Structure 1
Amino acid sequence: MSEMAGRIPDVHFLAPRAASTRLSRRALLAGFGVVGLGALSACGRNTTMAASPPTDGELESKLNLYSWGDYDNPELIEAFKAKNDVLVQVDSYGSNEELIAKLSTSRGTSGYDVVVPTGSNIPQMLKHDLLQELDLDLIPNFTHMDPNFTHQYFDPDNTYSICKAWGTTGFVYNTKKITHEMTSWQDFIDTAQKEAAGTTSLLEDPWEVSAIALAALGYSLNTQDEKELEEARRVVLDKLAPNTKAYIGNVATGMIQGSFTLLQAFNGDARQGLSEAADPENWKFVFPTPSANLWMDCWAIATGAQHPDSAHAFINQMISPETAVEQLDYIGYPIGTKGLAEQAKKAELDEQDLIFPAQKVLDRLEPSKQTPADQIRTKIYADAQARSGA
């Protein structure tokens, strides 16, 4: 794919992209949410933001996309360019914090049109006027979106955002080394202390690490209750941290290396690991009870975007049912369109059960939120790393 992208004459990647889709966009996400709040503190509501020109239905000749590295199929970008005669420039970032800092300091003059924040960051971004309203009349493919991924807490009416990609968190284990059935986060905690002691890995994400303990304790994954977080802290530090070998983002690499038997993982990353492991039949992924994160990256338009018509048209193409399977196959995670599971089945994509959790799993997921208690989660995470010797 990378060589093919290099031959596209009118798609200019202004920053280095990931070497391949094997380095998941989720694997890049660390230090969840904490720096982002700090970056926003420099941009208050009283700051004058540059205005975007009104939409008039005429596509501008240019579009500036600011997104995660290697997070769109270059063939689809080229198809948009060819159809509409629009020069597409793509710049990339490695974290929500980097995106937020760029938009907040530029005050609407960043030059970017379409951006891709994670949903949990959107409420804070809206407080600081970093995103502008979408005109859904210019995005008719919104009618094809799966209701599981519309009207989320961070944007109830999809006024500012539309799902680009989504996934959840669970764990994968080696069934040759761990022979009993595992179904819950409590199973994860118990096994980390027994069969998987010293061969367990956790994600490089404070929210996700605390969520293991909070779920096992029966608490909301987004709790701000200090007593509940203290209970979770004890579980993480006393039961998980001493038995954790590493905190890693690229779970696929951990599976391939063979030195881990139990790994907390995003579902799409686990699928990558299964596709590359020498012994995929010995690994099993679990969507654990009672709950886990439902994360969502979203299409949005930056405040002050100078090419709003092209921005709307681009988003409309990228959520089209006709492009959904191509996007899924390239980035490794599904986009939020209806009927994608059926399309993936026809396309005979591998490990479809890892891409598409059953509805009963979706119904119990809890989307992550940014709260002041993220500072507590970050301290838990730092102390856990120290306890593990990581």
Structure 2
Amino acid sequence: MNTPDNAIRILAPQAAVPVIQRELSRRRFLGFAAALGGTAFLAACTSGGGQTKPGAVATGGPLEKSVSVYTWGDYDAPTVVSDFTAELGPKVSLDSYSSNEELIAKLIAAKGTSGYDIVVPTGVFIPQMIENGLLQKFNKELLPNLANMDPAFIGRAWDPENDYSVCKAWGTTGFVYDKTVITRELKTWDDFFDAAQNEASGKTSLSDDPAAIIGSYFWARNEDWNTTDTTALEECRTFLVEKIAPHIAAFDSYPGTNAIPQGTHALMQGWNGDFRLGFNESSEPDRWQWVLPGPITELWMDNWAIAAGAPNPEAAHAFINFSMSPEALFENLDYIGYHVGGKDMQAEAEAAGLPYLDLIFFSDDQLAAMREQELNESQTLRVDIWNAVKAAAGA
């Protein structure tokens, strides 16, 4: 059991927010905390007791009649879910959350009695979840379809042996600009900030996400965006508050939903899958230019995992394994618009004629320039900077 000195340090919301629309938040590391004006730290358990209730261990026995998945909104192709039930039997129930913080808060409160079998946390949270007993170790003998996953997207730093997690989907952060307003070519995060202060002043949106805003300052400088150096973070604050905030029209993590189809902004920061959705829905897709900026940017990854105390561990393993079949991987990629980590998927997507594949697949050089987030002791300061940026922009 962890003592209070070794308490889990994960941001948590005060209330759950229903997820009801397509392409909802699966990337808000700190959004709830920003809205609350600070960080909230939860102890996984205290010296008074409260260990996570152990669950049954999957051994390859008969599948249970159901499996419960607690995941991001609209994150699984309906055909994958229905085909799993038709072929293997267990009925799948899907429940959704809007942040990693919400997921973790519920698992901590339930202490192994949440009733959920499968969860889909973002990689940066997994080490703390493992340490605090919130996840159940895989029986990898029941996951033979791990062989279908691209080695580039397994064995990540948060779970090197994939003992507790495996890629569900991954993406990155970039920007889109309106070529009728910004007629020069933009390539880097420095270009983004320059255009925000010039042609796109008053017509720029930033992601509604502290990680992406603060990250982009360090990405532009090819510096460690996970730094805990307070001097560097205060320099970031000064730049964003004084140089950038006066030019910002909105904070919007999902410009693909409205801003691109309606043409309301000329320069927008966001995630690749959301921009792809916007291009698909735009009546003028050629008006917009997607940029994966240099010199570096973000890589995030959501992961299949099994909750500690899962009541249906056999069916949980079966559903994860089914979702890693080549057919299910492709159906999920087509449906959610993010890479799902399977092998040789680009050739299949090209053969199927899927549009905007440059927003799903990236070159080795592009992948090498992506950096993952870490949670560290600078989180409180980062949220404070984020609040200052929004206040300076009048949000």
Match of 2:4? none
Matched, 1:375 2:380: yes
Give me the whole-angstrom Cα distance separating, in 2, the residues matched to 1:221 and 1:149: 21
1:39-92 Cα distance to aligned partner (Å, 9 max, x none): 542435963221111223121122111111211112211111111111222211
Give me the whole-angstrom Cα distance separating, in 1, the residues matched to 2:33 and 2:393: 23
Matched, 1:307 2:312: yes
- Which residue, 317, 320, 323 being the options, matches 2:322? 317
Larger mean Cα displacement after TM superposition, 41-50 or 297-306: 41-50
Match of 2:371? 366
Residues 39 and 104, structure 1, Cα contact 8 Å, conserved in 2: no
**Cα distance 1:17–1:197, how it changes in 2: closer, same or farther (>3 A)?**
closer
Structure 1 residue 254: Cα displacement: 1.5
Match of 1:156? 160
Letter matched to residue 271 of structure 2: F
Letter matched to residue 129 of structure 1: G
- Which residue, 24, 49, 54 being the options, matches 1:51? 54
Match of 1:186? 190
Give me the whole-angstrom Cα distance separating, in 2, the residues matched to 1:353 and 1:114: 30
Structure 1 residue 28: Cα displacement: 6.3
Give me the whole-angstrom Cα distance separating, in 1, the residues matched to 2:78 and 2:205: 33
**Cα distance 1:142–1:17, how it changes in 2: closer, same or farther (>3 A)?**
same
Match of 1:6? none
Give me the whole-angstrom Cα distance separating, in 1, the residues matched to 2:354 and 2:46: 46
**Cα distance 1:25–1:317, how it changes in 2: closer, same or farther (>3 A)?**
farther
Structure 1 residue 212: Cα displacement: 1.2
Q: SS in structure 1 opposite 2:95? A: strand
Matched, 1:282 2:287: yes
Give me the whole-angstrom Cα distance separating, in 2, the residues matched to 1:340 and 1:44: 46
**Cα distance 1:29–1:374, how it changes in 2: closer, same or farther (>3 A)?**
closer
Structure 1 residue 259: Cα displacement: 2.2
- Which residue, 346, 351, 362 being the options, matches 2:356? 351
Q: SS in structure 2 opposite 1:38? A: coil
**Cα distance 1:75–1:28, how it changes in 2: closer, same or farther (>3 A)?**
farther
Structure 1 residue 234: Cα displacement: 1.5
Match of 1:31? 31
**Cα distance 1:62–1:119, how it changes in 2: closer, same or farther (>3 A)?**
same
Residues 43 and 105, structure 1, Cα contact 8 Å, conserved in 2: no
Larger mean Cα displacement after TM superposition, 78-87 or 345-354: 78-87
User: What does 1:203-352 align with in structure 2 at a 5 Å threshold?
Assistant: 203-252=207-256, 253-352=258-357
1:240-268 Cα distance to aligned partner (Å, 9 max, x none): 11100000121111122222110001011
Q: SS in structure 2 opposite 1:322? A: helix
Larger mean Cα displacement after TM superposition, 327-336 or 44-53: 44-53
Residues 201 and 248, structure 2, Cα contact 8 Å, conserved in 1: yes
Q: Which runs of 5+ in 1 are unaligned?
A: 1-14
1:139-185 Cα distance to aligned partner (Å, 9 max, x none): 01111111221111111111110000000000000111111111110
Give me the whole-angstrom Cα distance separating, in 2, the residues matched to 1:90 and 1:216: 39
**Cα distance 1:39–1:318, how it changes in 2: closer, same or farther (>3 A)?**
farther
Give me the whole-angstrom Cα distance separating, in 2, the residues matched to 1:87 and 1:16: 22
Letter matched to residue 52 of structure 1: G
**Cα distance 1:299–1:364, how it changes in 2: closer, same or farther (>3 A)?**
same
Match of 1:18? 20
Letter matched to residue 51 of structure 1: P
Q: SS in structure 2 opposite 1:187? A: helix
Give me the whole-angstrom Cα distance separating, in 2, the residues matched to 1:62 and 1:44: 33
Residues 169 and 267, structure 1, Cα contact 8 Å, conserved in 2: yes
1:250-301 Cα distance to aligned partner (Å, 9 max, x none): 1111122222110001011111111112221111111111111101000000
- Which residue, 138, 148, 151 being the options, matches 1:144? 148
Q: SS in structure 2 opposite 1:177? A: coil
Structure 1 residue 389: Cα displacement: 0.6
Letter matched to residue 232 of structure 2: E
Give me the whole-angstrom Cα distance separating, in 1, the residues matched to 2:231 and 2:29: 27
**Cα distance 1:17–1:239, how it changes in 2: closer, same or farther (>3 A)?**
closer
Q: SS in structure 1 opposite 2:373? A: coil
Residues 33 and 121, structure 1, Cα contact 8 Å, conserved in 2: no
Residues 39 and 383, structure 2, Cα contact 8 Å, conserved in 1: no
User: What does 1:45-84 align with in structure 2 at a 5 Å threshold?
Assistant: 47-58=50-61, 59-84=63-88
Q: SS in structure 2 opposite 1:54? A: coil
Q: Which runs of 5+ in 2 are unaligned?
A: 1-16
Larger mean Cα displacement after TM superposition, 42-51 or 29-38: 29-38
Q: SS in structure 2 opposite 1:386? A: helix
Percent identity reads 43
Residues 67 and 312, structure 2, Cα contact 8 Å, conserved in 1: yes
